[in-house]
Amino acid sequence: MDPLLSRRALNRATLARQLLLRRTGLPVVDVVEHLGGLQAQTPHTWYTGLWNRIEDFDPASASGLLESRALVRMALQRSTIHLVSARDCLAMRPLVQVVTERMTRTTFGRRLAGVDLDELAETGRTLLAERPMTFAELGRALAERWPGSDPHALGQGVRWLVPLAQVPPRGLWGRSGPVAHTPADTWLDGLDVPPMTAAKLVTRYLAAFGPATVKDAQTWSGLTRLAEAVEGMDLVRFRGEDGRTYYDLPDAPRPDEDVPAPARLMYDFDNLFLSHADRSRVITETGLRALGGFMGTNVMPRLVLVDGFTAGDWTVTRARGVSTLTLHRWEPSASFDEAEAEARRLLEFLAPGDEHRTAVADGPSKS
């Protein structure tokens, strides 16, 4: 029988892979590649994700890597915008292309009826290679060729058919700009990287999120039928408390379940919370109830980890040169001393020129 892996052991293993038990001194690109990318549809909150994981993290360094094109923001896993290395941008996209295709056909398929997709891809690529455009601009330009079609659907069709990179200044630290895109291969000037295999993608996933089930890997990537890849891999197996089979890399770190886990203030789209079918390895039952208050609000909470598990969420307000970070404690009896100390450090990162204040409030920020 496969060895038993407790929920706390799963928690500690995942936090170790996510570089959340202790910050690393690895370079930014290495960290981004190790994590398989960071979900990054917001222009700036992902910087906090790197701050949580990298010792003495300098946001200007990551911003500079976006400008130099060593890092790229593009649609990848789950067809959501991710921050990845230039290498992973080109290696991962062919494999997960089917995810964007599936979602685009579901949402826009009827509105693209009658449009020659090969011609749409070629026309869109040519337009975006000439100058980066927003999807609204691209849709208007494409509508000149297909006047009877929905401009928005045309732009989304190009998003599916042509791998696109979001270009700076969008996403730069302390700056922003329009959500403009250009073909990724044009942006990366002929960088030649072979497509990633499904087995390699699963290996990368387990290195960052394991131990995990096949369904977990599919949740993270948006792909299906990954069991076929897993069956041919050299992996170790565990039995979870839920009776499911968990796979892992033989030499991956699996710390003792009693290893201390420091308080962490996570950003709103951190993949720690989005990359498993069963999120109970980090989200408690109280957390699931608290997160229910955010449903339908168009707000993704920024969660607080205490002892490795969700214990609250946090918000920041700024007025007259004073930045206040409020920790919203979901259990009134929970000790937030360590989280408050981490909150003060985070304010020094987010608002270095402001006066800083922290506060603790009972109950989720949305209910």
Extract the tokens encoding 152: 């928005």
Does the structure show a pLDDT above 80 at 136? yes
Neighbour tally for 5: CB within 10 Å:
21
Residues forming beta bridges with residue 210, ordered by sequence position: none
| Confidence label for 367 from pLDDT (cuts 50, 70 and 90) | confident
DSSP notation for 201-214: HHHHHHHHH-SB-H
> What per-residue confidence (pLDDT) applies to 349?
98
Does the structure show a pLDDT above 90 at 1? no
> What per-residue confidence (pLDDT) applies to 332?
87
Q: For the segment 100-119, what is each residue's pLDDT rounded down to a tens digit?
A: 999 999 999 999 999 999 99
Q: For the segment 23-59, what is each residue's pLDDT rounded down to a tens digit?
A: 999 999 999 999 999 999 999 999 999 999 999 999 9
Distance in angstroms (rounded) separating the CA atoms of residues 214 and 196: 18
Neighbour tally for 169: CB within 10 Å:
15
Distance in angstroms (rounded) separating the CA atoms of residues 346 and 51: 8
Predicted TM-score (pTM) of this structure = 0.96
| Cβ-Cβ contacts under 8 Å for 4 (sequence gap 6 or more) | 238, 239, 240, 241
Q: For the segment 218-271, what is each residue's pLDDT rounded down to a tens digit?
A: 999 999 999 999 999 999 999 999 999 999 999 999 999 999 999 999 999 999
